[in-house]
């Protein structure tokens, strides 16, 4: 016989509580809930960490940022280049001024030497006198003695210029002429160099004539007359010649030899006169150049 419906263990559709399980089931559900909350919290923290990781205080760089960085780098390099250029420019200007100062000093020293050389104007005048004596057909004993004096005192030596070209040589040969900024200064220095070369050429021509005349004079003049003592010293002063009691005479009487030598002596006198003329032109130019360089480089207080 069927059991009554009232004896069923619970109402239909309702969960039956099993003895001993209700408390355990509650704990399990609570643990599951806590684990779910922990996972959710960790997930939120992870998301926050990811958000902070991608976050940058400068923000994402744009092309303007890259351009600004490039511009600042370029500006730093360019400013360094300008500073170096200015320093090099100042060094070159200082070197230029030092070269000009040295040039002025050398020109002033040359002027002192030129004054001494130009005092020797009697030399070519006496060479003219000697030429006249040699070209005469007849000569007295005093004229022969005079010829010896003029020949050995004036025709075998010369007072000449030895230019100080250290600064000019450094400018031209060491490539330092580029330091001179002003073209008018460069032109004047080149002109100075040309004048020195002209004087050197004129001096070489004179020295060649002097050497040729010395060889030719050995055929006319007896050098034994002008030896001062046994040591072989030569007489130079007029007083020394006058103290010699010997009667002077020439080695040869050949008229053609005297004419040739007289003509060559005249050429020597003219060559020396031309040298002094060019030297005077150089002296005047040097005076103008010194004043010009002082004015261009403001050196009035330096000298």
What distance in Å separates the CA atoms of residue 268 and residue 53, rounded to the nearest whole number?
A: 104
Find the range with the poorest average confidence among 21-30, 89-98, 281-290: 21-30
pLDDT number for residue 259: 95
Residue 23 has pLDDT above 60, yes or no: no
Find the range with the poorest average confidence among 30-44, 147-161, 235-249, 269-283: 30-44
Q: Is residue 6 part of a domain?
A: no
Residue with the larger pLDDT of the pair 15 and 265: 265
Q: Is residue 27 part of a domain?
A: no
Q: Is residue 37 part of a domain?
A: no
> Whole-structure pTM over 0.85, yes or no?
no
Give 89-130 pLDDT, tens digit per residue: 777 888 999 999 999 999 999 999 999 999 988 999 999 999
Q: Is residue 44 part of a domain?
A: no
pLDDT number for residue 263: 96
Between the CA atoms of 107, 113, 128 and 140, what dihedral angle is there, to the nearest 10 degrees? 180
pLDDT number for residue 237: 62
Please state the rounded mean pLDDT for residues 160-181.
Answer: 88
Q: Is residue 193 part of a domain?
A: yes
Tell me if residue 52 falls in helix, strand or coil.
helix
Please state the rounded mean pLDDT for residues 272-291.
Answer: 96
CB atoms within 10 A of CB 258: 21
Burial of 197 (0-12, 13-18, 19+ CB in 10 A): exposed
Q: How many residues does the chain have?
A: 303
Total number of domains in the chain:
1
Q: Is residue 3 part of a domain?
A: no
Which residues are bridge partners to 54 per DSSP? none
Give 37-89 pLDDT, tens digit per residue: 555 555 555 555 544 444 455 557 788 778 888 888 888 887 887 777 777 77
pLDDT number for residue 107: 96
Q: Is residue 38 part of a domain?
A: no
Tell me if residue 221 falls in helix, strand or coil.
coil
Task: Out of 68-72, 140-144, 193-197, give the one with best mean pLDDT.
Answer: 193-197
In this prediction, residue 18 has a pLDDT band, given cuts at 50, 70 and 90, of very low
pLDDT number for residue 241: 63
Residue 235 has pLDDT above 70, yes or no: no
pLDDT number for residue 301: 81
Please state the rounded mean pLDDT for residues 164-188.
Answer: 90
CB contact at 8 A, 294 and 94: no
User: Token pair 């031209």 is at which residue?
Assistant: 172
Phi, psi values for residue 10, rounded to 5°: 175, 170
Q: Is residue 209 part of a domain?
A: yes
Residue-number span of the structural domain to which 127 is assigned: 77-296
DSSP assignment of 241-269 equals HHT--SPP--S---HHHHHHHHHHHHHHH
């Amino acid at each position: 016989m069927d059991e009554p419906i009232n004896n069923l263990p619970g109402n239909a559709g309702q969960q039956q509580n099993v003895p001993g399980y209700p408390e355990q089931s509650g704990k399990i559900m609570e643990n599951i809930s806590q684990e779910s909350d922990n996972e959710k919290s960790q997930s939120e923290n992870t998301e926050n960490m990811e958000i902070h990781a991608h976050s940058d205080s400068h923000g994402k760089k744009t092309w303007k940022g890259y351009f600004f960085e490039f511009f600042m780098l370029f500006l730093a390099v360019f400013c360094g280049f300008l500073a170096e250029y200015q320093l090099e420019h100042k060094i070159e200007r200082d070197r230029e001024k030092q070269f000009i100062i040295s040039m002025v000093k050398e020109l002033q020293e040359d002027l002192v030497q030129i004054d001494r050389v130009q005092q020797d104007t009697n030399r070519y005048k006496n060479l003219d006198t000697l030429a006249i004596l040699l070209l005469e057909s007849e000569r007295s004993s005093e004229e022969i003695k005079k010829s010896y004096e003029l020949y050995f005192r004036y025709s075998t030596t010369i007072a000449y210029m030895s230019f100080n070209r250290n600064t000019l040589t450094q400018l031209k040969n060491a490539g330092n002429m580029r330091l001179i900024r002003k073209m008018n200064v460069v032109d004047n220095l080149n002109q100075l160099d040309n004048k020195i070369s002209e004087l050197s050429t004129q001096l070489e021509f004179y020295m060649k004539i002097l050497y040729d005349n010395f060889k030719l004079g050995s055929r006319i003049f007896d050098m034994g007359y002008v030896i001062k003592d046994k040591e072989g010293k030569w007489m130079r002063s007029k007083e020394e010649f006058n103290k010699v009691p010997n009667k002077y005479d020439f080695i040869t009487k050949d008229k053609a030899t005297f004419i040739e030598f007289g003509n060559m002596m005249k050429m020597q006198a003219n060559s020396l006169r031309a040298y002094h003329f060019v030297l005077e032109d150089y002296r005047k130019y040097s005076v103008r150049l010194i004043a010009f360089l002082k004015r261009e480089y403001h050196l009035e207080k330096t000298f």
